[in-house]
Amino acid sequence: MALPKINQIAGRAVYVPGDDIDTDRIIPARFMKCVTFDGLGEYVFYDVRKNEDGTDRKHPLNDPKFSGATILISGNNFGCGSSREHAPQAIYRAGFRAVIAESFAEIFFGNSTQLGMPCVSATHDDIQALVRALQADPDMTVMIDLEMQRIHFGDVSISCEIRETNRQALVGGYWDPIQDLINGEEQVEAVANDLAYFRATAD
């Protein structure tokens, strides 16, 4: 099965402010006792979204104005802390398909790419301009163009950055290494069958 080529991501957006938002804040450790990642979206940012009794706190992700947003916006060093894959999985399963921030922690960035969820960086000033536009019009569509490395909103366009190898994987449709390996099963078998030591082991 061919992976989709991810050239553009468009949708409504929500801003979760803060620098150094770590993976434990994104998905608290007690929710990681799961066999699969299904259902993790319910617990994204749980401890800052919910009171102890489970009622909602004041938080952007609880604001009806931003319900259904598919692009998450944040600050510097997003996804730092532990390397838990559950963090990008929780964000993805909460319905987000891209993240815009000033910078990202390395492992979070890589894990997100392997989900087909681009993480693009923009300057502080440009992000704040985007946030002001969202505050004025929460229904505004934000479009990330990975080919041109631009973010479009309203009549404004700002630049964004993403590591070239990851960008190429997304736009080329080979961002999931496991699926990429499965897709190349015939080539893998052909190479293996040409190896004398492999044939000897098989015999």
The 10s digit of each residue's pLDDT in 153-183 is 999 999 999 999 999 999 999 998 776 666 6
Is the confidence at residue 73, as pLDDT, over 90? yes
Does 179 map to a domain? no
pTM of the model: 0.88
Does 133 map to a domain? yes
Q: What is the rounded average pLDDT of the residues 76-82?
A: 96
Helix or strand (DSSP H, E) at 144: strand 142-145
CATH of the domain at 73: 3.20.19.10
Does 198 map to a domain? no
How many folded domains does the chain comprise? 1
Owning domain of residue 164: 8-173
| 108 contacts: CB under 8 Å, gap ≥ 6 | 23, 78, 79, 80, 83, 87, 88, 119
Does 20 map to a domain? yes
The answer to whether 109 and 166 have CB atoms below 8 angstroms apart is yes
Tell me the C-alpha distance between 191 and 203, whole Å: 17
What 3-state DSSP class applies to 181?
helix
pLDDT band with cut points at 50, 70 and 90 for residue 15? very high
In this structure, of 105-114, 141-150, 184-193, the range with the lowest mean pLDDT score is 184-193
Is the confidence at residue 127, as pLDDT, over 60? yes
Does 181 map to a domain? no
Does 104 map to a domain? yes
pLDDT band with cut points at 50, 70 and 90 for residue 13? very high
Does 202 map to a domain? no
Does 193 map to a domain? no
* Residue 93 phi, psi (nearest 5): -75, -10
How many CB atoms are closer than 10 A to CB 203? 5
For the chain, the residue count is 203
Tell me the C-alpha distance between 2 and 7, whole Å: 15
